[in-house]
Amino acid sequence: MELLYKNTKIRGIMKENQTSLTTSPSTDAQSSSLTAEQYRKKMQRRKEVQDQRIADASLEKGLVIVNTGNGKGKTTASLGMVLRSLGHGYKVAIIQFIKGAWEPSEKKAFSAWKENGQLVFHAMGEGFTWETQDRDRDLEKAQAAWEKGLEYIRNPEYKLVLLDEINIAIKLGYLRVDEVLHGLSQKPERNHVILTGRGAPQSLIERADLVTEMNLIKHPFRDQAVKAQPGIEY
């Protein structure tokens, strides 16, 4: 009976605060008009909701993560997860499907982990498709990148595998989405795979556990003709 009461109370609090976990100018204004005691009670209710959510999140599983959309930051966000994984001592594999013709600065930044064998980095593309202008070669390179990525997806030693710009390869028809989905089904239960690139297909989105869409609002290249800059774009 006590447990039923507790769960009912928590559900009531969650309903009451369903919009309180994100802030906006209007909610900030409301909070500033509260007395100290009203504010304390509001934060106490919010804490109860968060504590209950954390308590309920007991499942552990490896994730399929998709970063897509037309906005900037898909690879950048993924590299943040790579850095976290390396910090925990996990082994990580990065496979680049499109940007391989570049010598990205992140490759240099991660060199210490490469040297100790914790990180493998395969830049297997030859640049953007409008640069290569050779569909057959692009197909060959994409297939080779996928086969290499699949090796690491199946390998239980690699906690995280980043397939950078693979969504582009799927969108352009260089890889079949059903082939990729089948490959993802072969990953060890506790391991993670990140797939980046705009235009992620719906079937991949449905399969994923975590999907983030980067929306393009403003971009200096498009809006101001500002050229790509080291430390920002590469």
Sorted by sequence, the CB contacts under 8 Å of residue 90 that are 6+ apart come out as: 118, 158, 159, 160
Q: Which of 6, 9, 53, 84 is catalytic?
A: 84
Whether 74 is catalytic is: yes
Whether 128 is catalytic is: yes
Whether 110 is catalytic is: no
Whether 19 is catalytic is: no
CA distance 143 to 124: 10
Whether 154 is catalytic is: no
Pairing type for strands 64-68 and 119-123 reads unpaired
CA-based nearest residue to 168, from 219, 121, 132: 132
Q: Which helix (H) or strand (E) holds 89?
A: none
Q: Which of 42, 45, 46, 72 is catalytic?
A: 72
Q: Which of 67, 75, 191, 196 is catalytic?
A: 75
Whether 16 is catalytic is: no
Whether 75 is catalytic is: yes
CA-based nearest residue to 214, from 66, 65, 74: 74
Q: Which of 15, 130, 189, 222 is catalytic?
A: 130
Whether 9 is catalytic is: no
Q: Which of 17, 76, 129, 155 is catalytic?
A: 76
Whether 233 is catalytic is: no
In our burial notation (b when 16+ CB lie closer than 10 A, e otherwise), range 163-173 reads: bbbbbbbbbee
Q: Which of 67, 74, 167, 187 is catalytic?
A: 74
User: Which residues are catalytic, by number?
Assistant: 70, 72, 74-76, 84, 128, 130, 165
